[in-house]
């Protein structure tokens, strides 16, 4: 079923099916005892934080943060003006209870306004309907991805549980906070206040809209949505430059789990379905994450959908692997697709590391490695190499869907500490080389975005901008790199007088 042939009924099914909505039939009332949280993760985290300040990145900040003018070191690039937004889980503790997974904290938007070297910051928790209802009730009402309440408030759709905590999108004149289990949340640009959910069409109200939309060089936007119940389904979106829906489609992709990211080429949408598969029958008791089952002997299935006709599809198989993010991909004249993926041998990072860090424990897991995947026009694909550890891969906006030379990631130094990512890496895929800057002990960088310079045409003709937590000093900084010389380190940094919680993704809006 594709394009305009989608019935409202079908989409409502998809809407109700978004992973988190699957609890609805089982969630008739809130537990009177409220004792279904078991042992004290909040107390364990506080004690661990006292021993290890690295955990500052997972501490709940105040709901509002404001600094009128940051202390700047170095020479902030004159052309790097605009607003830099970030989002991530932040409200980890509320009503005496701490989330059981990094992915479950309610979102908080961080905004850096950069104007001629003067940089101001404000942070605002995204006031979703979920958060408003919980604050009114004075208790947690809803389960999350891995924070499971055995009984919870009635759920009317995915957005009952929408935490708006993964990314930020500025498109068609709107600023949106993105989640992946439900709708995008509108934000007022003047105040950062949440102003309701975005519906791309009346039929798409409440339908999942994932947190990694891809903007083609022509400015149009592609995205997926991932629904898990009553049966797995993928939603496909094409949105024009003005933010109007061009078309949407629904794909029955068979067994799958939550799909976080995807790839666009100039012709196709490429969606990997790792064999970490959701079992609806488990969700009632286990919650979303623990209803996923890792099947190491199963294939990673790859769906390739024609942008021009969502009905034209091909499938490939890859060895079992797991990952969140892609660098970029492109398609050759014969249909061969090449794409870059930060992939691990199993999903331990999500089932172990990113769960137990909320309790103050560091549990190692299989590393994410920068890898090239090749999909021939027909037949099985292959993973060509597994290089060094990498996450949060970004390319120049003009390279999206085209063959890229440079990709920017976080990386791991030779002497990694508990939290491994500490470097910013520029990879030259043509030469097979990489250069990096090590922030040094005591610092944890977050995603760094490439911002093209004024009139810049090259894939490194611009800047990298990103935040870094200095947990020894207890502050967060904003860095600007000349993308042509990443190894030289930031050309300028601006420091907040407080730490920000570690987050996921951001957006830069020039001007
Ligand atoms: Fe992501």
> What contacts 420, CB < 8 A, 6 or more positions away?
367, 389, 412
How is 373-394 classified by DSSP, letter by letter?
EEE-SSS--EEEEEEEE-EEEE
Q: Inform me whether the pLDDT recorded for 5 exceeds 60.
A: no
Q: Inform me whether the pLDDT recorded for 8 exceeds 50.
A: no
Query: Cα of 213 to ligand 1 centre, how many Å?
Result: 10
Mean pLDDT of all residues in 119-123 = 98
Q: What is the pLDDT of residue 24?
A: 29
Residue 37 pLDDT class (50, 70, 90 cuts): low
Q: Inform me whether the pLDDT recorded for 139 exceeds 60.
A: yes
Q: Inform me whether the pLDDT recorded for 482 exceeds 70.
A: yes
Q: What is the pLDDT of residue 35?
A: 35
Q: What is the pLDDT of residue 345?
A: 96
What's the domain range around 129?
Answer: 3-510
Query: Cα of 322 to ligand 1 centre, how many Å?
Result: 13
Buried b (16+ CB within 10 A) or exposed e, 22-33: bbbeebeebeee
Q: Inform me whether the pLDDT recorded for 280 exceeds 90.
A: no
Q: Inform me whether the pLDDT recorded for 194 exceeds 70.
A: yes
Query: Cα of 469 to ligand 1 centre, how many Å?
Result: 19
Query: Cα of 346 to ligand 1 centre, how many Å?
Result: 17
202: alpha, beta or left, given left = phi > 0 and alpha = psi -120 to 50? alpha
Query: Cα of 35 to ligand 1 centre, how many Å?
Result: 32
pLDDT tens-digit map of 72-94: 999 999 999 999 999 999 999 99
Query: Cα of 32 to ligand 1 centre, how many Å?
Result: 36
Query: Cα of 464 to ligand 1 centre, how many Å?
Result: 18
Q: Inform me whether the pLDDT recorded for 387 exceeds 90.
A: no
Mean pLDDT of all residues in 305-318 = 98
What is the rounded average pLDDT for all residues in the chain?
91
CB distance 444 to 423 below 8 Å:
no
C-alpha 373/C-alpha 106 separation (Å) is 34
> Which tokens belong to 485?
């010389």
Residue 38 pLDDT class (50, 70, 90 cuts): low
Which has more pLDDT, 301 or 17?
301
pLDDT tens-digit map of 288-300: 999 999 999 999 9
The domain tally of the chain equals 1
Query: Cα of 189 to ligand 1 centre, how many Å?
Result: 23
Mean pLDDT of all residues in 158-178 = 96
Query: Cα of 74 to ligand 1 centre, how many Å?
Result: 30
CB distance 329 to 265 below 8 Å:
yes
Q: What is the pLDDT of residue 32?
A: 28
Query: Cα of 204 to ligand 1 centre, how many Å?
Result: 22
Q: Inform me whether the pLDDT recorded for 312 exceeds 60.
A: yes
> Which tokens belong to 69?
């003018």
Share of the chain above pLDDT 70, in %: 92
Instruction: Calculate the alpha carbon distances from 278 to 159, 171, 227 in Å.
Output: 20, 32, 11
Query: Cα of 509 to ligand 1 centre, how many Å?
Result: 19
Residue 36 pLDDT class (50, 70, 90 cuts): very low
Q: What is the pLDDT of residue 9?
A: 39
Query: Cα of 298 to ligand 1 centre, how many Å?
Result: 24
Residue 19 pLDDT class (50, 70, 90 cuts): very low
- Give me the residue label for tokens 């061009």: 246
Query: Cα of 338 to ligand 1 centre, how many Å?
Result: 20
C-alpha 393/C-alpha 327 separation (Å) is 5
pLDDT tens-digit map of 322-361: 999 999 999 999 999 999 999 999 999 999 999 999 999 9
How far the first Cα of the chain sits from its last, in Å, is 41
Residue 20 pLDDT class (50, 70, 90 cuts): very low
Q: Which of 403, 263, 407, 430 is nearest to 333 (CA)?
A: 403
Query: Cα of 391 to ligand 1 centre, how many Å?
Result: 10
**Three-class HEC string of 58-115:** HCCCCCEEEECCCEEEECCCCCCCEEEEEEEEEECEECCEECCCHHHCEEEEEEEEEE
pLDDT tens-digit map of 235-256: 999 999 999 999 999 999 999 9
Query: Cα of 211 to ligand 1 centre, how many Å?
Result: 7
Query: Cα of 324 to ligand 1 centre, how many Å?
Result: 6
Query: Cα of 138 to ligand 1 centre, how many Å?
Result: 31
Query: Cα of 259 to ligand 1 centre, how many Å?
Result: 10
C-alpha 286/C-alpha 281 separation (Å) is 9
Query: Cα of 44 to ligand 1 centre, how many Å?
Result: 27
Share of the chain above pLDDT 90, in %: 83
Query: Cα of 447 to ligand 1 centre, how many Å?
Result: 10
Mean pLDDT of all residues in 423-449 = 97
Query: Cα of 21 to ligand 1 centre, how many Å?
Result: 21
- CATH number for the domain that contains residue 99: 2.130.10.10
Query: Cα of 393 to ligand 1 centre, how many Å?
Result: 10
Query: Cα of 30 to ligand 1 centre, how many Å?
Result: 31
CB distance 107 to 165 below 8 Å:
yes
Query: Cα of 392 to ligand 1 centre, how many Å?
Result: 7
């Amino acid at each position: 079923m594709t394009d305009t042939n989608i019935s409202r009924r079908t989409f409502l099914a998809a809407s109700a099916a978004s992973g988190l909505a699957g609890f609805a039939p089982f969630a008739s009332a809130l537990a009177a005892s409220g004792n279904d949280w078991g042992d004290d993760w909040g107390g364990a985290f506080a004690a661990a934080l006292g021993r290890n300040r690295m955990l500052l990145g997972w501490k709940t900040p105040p709901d509002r943060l404001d600094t009128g003018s940051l202390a700047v070191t170095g020479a902030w690039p004159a052309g790097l003006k605009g607003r830099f937004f970030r989002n991530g889980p932040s409200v980890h503790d509320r009503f005496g209870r701490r989330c059981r997974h990094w992915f479950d904290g309610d979102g908080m938007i961080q905004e850096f306004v950069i104007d001629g070297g003067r940089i101001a910051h404000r942070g605002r928790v995204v006031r979703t309907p979920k958060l408003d209802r919980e604050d009114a009730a004075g208790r947690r009402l809803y389960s999350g991805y891995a924070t499971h309440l055995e009984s919870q408030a009635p759920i009317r759709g995915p957005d009952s549980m929408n935490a708006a905590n993964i990314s930020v999108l500025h498109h068609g004149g709107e600023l949106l906070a993105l989640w992946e289990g439900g709708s995008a949340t509108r934000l007022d640009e003047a105040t950062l206040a949440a102003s309701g959910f975005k519906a791309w069409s009346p039929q798409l109200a409440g339908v999942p809209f994932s947190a990694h939309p891809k903007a083609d060089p022509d400015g149009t936007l592609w995205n997926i949505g991932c629904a898990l119940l009553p049966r797995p389904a993928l939603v496909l979106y094409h949105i024009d430059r003005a933010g109007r829906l061009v078309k949407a489609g629904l794909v029955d992709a068979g067994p799958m789990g939550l799909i976080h990211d995807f790839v666009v080429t100039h012709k196709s949408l490429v969606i990997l379905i790792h064999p970490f598969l959701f079992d609806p029958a488990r969700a009632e008791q286990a919650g979303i994450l623990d209803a996923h089952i890792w099947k190491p002997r199963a294939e990673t299935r790859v769906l390739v959908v024609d942008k021009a006709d969502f009905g034209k599809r091909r499938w490939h198989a890859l060895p079992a692997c797991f990952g969140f993010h892609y660098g970029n991909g492109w398609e050759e004249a014969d249909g061969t697709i090449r794409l870059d993926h930060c992939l691990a041998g199993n999903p331990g990072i999500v089932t172990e590391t990113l769960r137990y860090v909320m309790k103050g424990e560091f549990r190692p897991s299989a590393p994410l490695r920068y890898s090239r995947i090749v999909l021939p026009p027909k037949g099985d694909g292959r993973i060509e190499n597994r290089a060094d550890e990498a996450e949060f891969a970004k390319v120049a906006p003009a390279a999206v869907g085209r063959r890229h030379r440079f990709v920017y990631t976080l990386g791991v130094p030779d002497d990694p500490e508990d939290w491994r990512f500490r470097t910013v890496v520029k990879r030259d895929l043509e030469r097979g080389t990489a250069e990096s800057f090590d922030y040094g002990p005591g610092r944890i960088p977050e995603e760094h975005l490439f911002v093209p310079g004024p009139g810049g045409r090259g894939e490194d003709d611009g800047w990298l901008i990103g935040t870094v937590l200095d947990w020894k000093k207890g502050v967060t900084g904003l860095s600007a790199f000349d993308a042509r010389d990443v190894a030289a380190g930031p050309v300028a940094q601006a420091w907040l007088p407080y730490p920000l919680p570690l987050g996921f993704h951001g957006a830069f809006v020039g001007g």
